[in-house]
Amino acid sequence: MPRAAGSVAFSTGGPPPEIPARSRYNSAMRVNTIPRPKLPRLLLALVAALTLAACTLYGEHPARSISEATGGEGLERMFWKSLAAQNWVEVERALASNYRGVTPTGTLDREATLALYRQWLLKDYSIGDLNTELNGSTIVVTYNITLNGTASSQPFPPTPQRMMTVWQQQKAGWVVIAHAVSQ
């Protein structure tokens, strides 16, 4: 069958052919489809790489004084290290002016505790079963400690002693406000 001029022939066997739609906007008005750089991802990857490199290159730096210690465990370990080294300036700085201690023989204030510590010759110590609990500006540290040395020329007991120390953050740094000992 002949076709008339301007007519379109469709086959009856399938859908009509697709005709590409033309945009009604010119190319200057189209949305910019150039991919944006992944700056946040790139920045995050750079920060992660630098952090890993810094940890690898510089490693962990142990605290050299109580003021450099972080967390309850670090504070407690630096306190005992200062006591063993007889660094009385550090030990005095660590005890608050309103410090109170409880021992099996009674209670002690700051001055009585410092006098007691000055009678010690602490050769070595071992801390175990340490737990810390942060509550606002206060850290409670509980642990077992075995002391090796003498107190007033008498050897320390060979069995571990149970300790509890309460550290409080003040303007000058962390200080001990309370300490308890039980055997």
SS (H, E, C) 88-118: HHHHHHHEEEEEEEEECCEEEEHHHHHHHHH
Are the beta carbons of 161 and 179 closer than 8 angstroms? no
CATH number for the domain spanning 139: value is 3.10.450.50
Gap between the Cα atoms of 139 and 117, Å rounded: 22
Question: Taking residues 102-111, what's their average pLDDT?
Answer: 93
Predicted confidence band of residue 72 (pLDDT cuts 50, 70, 90): confident
What is the tally of structural domains in the chain?
1
* 175 within some domain: yes
What integer pLDDT is reported at residue 111 of this predicted model? 96
Residue 7 lies in a domain: no
Question: What distance in Å separates the CA atoms of residue 12 and residue 147, rounded to the nearest whole number?
Answer: 100
Inside any domain, residue 137: yes
47-65 pLDDT, tens digit each: 777 776 655 555 555 656 5
Q: Which domain holds residue 170?
A: 69-182
Is 30 domain-assigned? no
Q: Provide the CA 47 distance to its chain's centre, in angstroms.
A: 18
Can you give the pTM of this predicted structure? Answer: 0.64
Q: Which residue has the higher pLDDT, 49 or 131?
A: 131
Q: What rounded mean pLDDT belongs to the chain?
A: 80
Q: Which residues pair with residue 144 across a beta bridge?
A: 128, 162
- 144 falls within a domain: yes
